[in-house]
Amino acid sequence: MRLSGKTAIVTGGGSGFGEGIAKRFAEEGCKVIVNDINVEGGERVANEIKTSGGDAAFIKGDVSQDADWAAMLKFSLETYGDLDIVINNAGTTHRNQPVLNVTEKDFDRVYAVNVKSLYHSARNIVPHFRKKGSGAFVTIASTAGVRPRPGLVWYNGSKAAAIVASRAMAVELAPDKIRVNVVNPVAGDTPLLGEFMGEDTPEMRAKFVATIPLGRFSQPRDVANACLYLASDEADFITGACIEVDGGRCV
């Protein structure tokens, strides 16, 4: 098993890409801390992993809050005795709409969840990784951060910031043997799809899929497999990389 003996925190693990990552990691022998603000979803995923023979525990937490990150690290150490991997997956967006229609409240929420969370993640987890002499972060950003389009202006900006911050952190933390990589999915068939498209209709889905050369939305397992590689020892010489899991949309 590719993650045997390792422990990972997966934020936003109660649905969508996070659920797929948590379950895929558990299949490969990883002990998974499922984090989400949605208790029902997070507990469901952790219980499904355990029912399938894996090892998982749930902790509620808001990734935009420093105290919740401290609690996640403490919970991981108390539950499994260690922490090796952090998947910064939790994210949000504003609805696809003209730039001036986005409220300040929505802007602040997008940047708190998509960008400030990385700051809190680093502040709390890097000292632990430095102490143990290794660690891996994977940031789930978006193709929107490298191929921005109208309608999601502030979301695009938040994901671009997440990509650049993660890559800069990769260089700074390399001497500590801490790896930081990025996965950029195209929009997936997840609960946020309607927000990305503006409306979730068969016509809008067909219009969006037509822009993806491989002809479908990304699925949680697509993203999970990329994260699995980057978090595993197979990628121990890879840091600062961005993998587009997008069916060729960014080409």
Residues acting as catalytic residues: 155
Tokens in use for 116?
A: 């400030």
Tokens 């929009």 map to which residue?
187
Beta bridge partners of 91: none
Q: How many whole angstroms separate alpha carbon 22 and alpha carbon 19? A: 5
Structure tokens at 199: 């409306």
Closest CA to 198 of 155, 235, 164: 155
DSSP string across 149-200 = -TT-HHHHHHHHHHHHHHHHHHHHHGGGTEEEEEEEEPPBSSTTHHHHHSS-
User: Residue 175 carries which side chain, given as an amino acid letter?
Assistant: P
Is the four-CA dihedral 116, 121, 127, 129 of positive or negative sign?
Answer: negative
CB burial readout 182-211, b (16+ within 10 A) else e: bbbbbbbebebbebbbeeeeeebbeebeee
Contact between residue 64 and residue 120 where contact means Cβ atoms under 8 Å apart: yes
